[in-house]
Amino acid sequence: MPVPTKFVDSHQHVRWHQRDEHGLIADMDAHGIAYAWLLTWQLSHIDQAPEYNFCLNPELFNPDGTHPGIPLSELLETKVQYPARFVVGFCPHPTWAQAPAILEAAYNMHGVRVCGEWKFRVPFDDPRCLAIFQKAGQLKMPVVLHLDVPTLPDPKTGAPVFQPLWYGGTVANLENALKACPDTIFIGHAPGFWREISGDADTSSSPYPEGPVTPDGRLYRLFDTYANLYADMSAGSGRQALSRDSEHAVKFITRYADRLLFGRDYYEQELHDFLQTLPLSAEVIEKIYWQNAERLVAPPL
């Protein structure tokens, strides 16, 4: 595979996975990342996820063990130190009063240009979420969505099993948001999104399905129907969905090359290493590694 002329990480966090902003910069430098989209994750009382405690900033834990997640203040402190290396993202919690106005204030006051990461235990098509998405569309801010489904089938009985770490709902909730906000760019991400690359999503009991991709994955219909749907390939979910079937991955990436973005979500090289094994054209590589990201959001000055 041709080596891209530029690397843009479209999905990253700071003071996360036991590294501060200097550790993040060192990792970016080690992997040739020109700059990254730095995203928040605003945790409320309904979104607490102790499973993530190991990778959150210990300084921010409350006496009761709850955590605010990755607030905007952490990103702004990082941006001041490394202004040329980050585009700042932010998404207010949909339960906050005047959340769309808060997003607009972040755009005007702090130069926020990405709405994300949207990662909340509220359905995408809740009216409060749609109001945020519509404001993001007005401001030309792409919305980075984390989707984890609320149920998975029991491997023996097929009965739905509740998943406590659900975010956003289902692809049906996502489709409703795509319809309701045609002027907003949505960037899909996470296991609940990427499992839909394959037609076996409804019957797979694993958050990260394995084995050859089967026909009729819902992502095809969604991409073909909604021009405002993009996706980032960050974290284990994007790589796993693609690497389960390399031949399919080449076809999928080539077909949707204008709407896929390279991203990492933490400190890893697995996605890049996998992409290096695929016979992708130089044109496709340039699009997914940096051109699509810069078409959506201008690079930092």
Give the model's confidence band at 100: pLDDT under 50 very low, under 70 low, under 90 confident, else very high: very high
Residue 103 within any structural domain of the chain: yes
Nearest Cα to 296, choosing from 171, 161, 151, 184? Answer: 184
Per-residue pLDDT tens over the stretch 181-227:
999 999 999 999 999 999 999 999 999 999 999 999 999 999 999 99
Phi, psi of 176 (to 5 degrees): -60, -40
Per-residue pLDDT tens over the stretch 22-50:
999 999 999 999 999 999 999 999 999 99
Long-range Cβ contact pairs of 279-287 (< 8 A, separation 24 or more): 279/1, 279/250, 280/1, 280/2, 280/250, 280/253, 280/254, 281/2, 281/254, 282/2, 283/257, 284/253, 284/254, 284/257, 285/1, 285/2, 285/3, 285/4, 286/4, 286/5, 286/6, 287/257, 287/258, 287/260
* Contact yes or no for 114/79 (Cβ under 8 A): no
Q: How many domains does the chain have?
A: 1
Q: What is the pTM of this model?
A: 0.97
Query: Which residues form the domain of 208?
Result: 8-296
Give the model's confidence band at 287: pLDDT under 50 very low, under 70 low, under 90 confident, else very high: very high
CATH number of the domain encompassing residue 202: 3.20.20.140
Residue 85 within any structural domain of the chain: yes
Residue 203 within any structural domain of the chain: yes
Residue 301 within any structural domain of the chain: no
* % of the chain at pLDDT higher than 90: 98
What pLDDT was estimated at residue 160? 97
Residue 68 within any structural domain of the chain: yes
Residue 250 within any structural domain of the chain: yes
Contacts of 42 (CB under 8 A, 6+ apart): 68, 69, 70, 71, 72, 91, 92, 93, 120
Residue 60 within any structural domain of the chain: yes
What pLDDT was estimated at residue 226? 98
Residues 260-289 have a mean pLDDT of 96
Residue 254 within any structural domain of the chain: yes
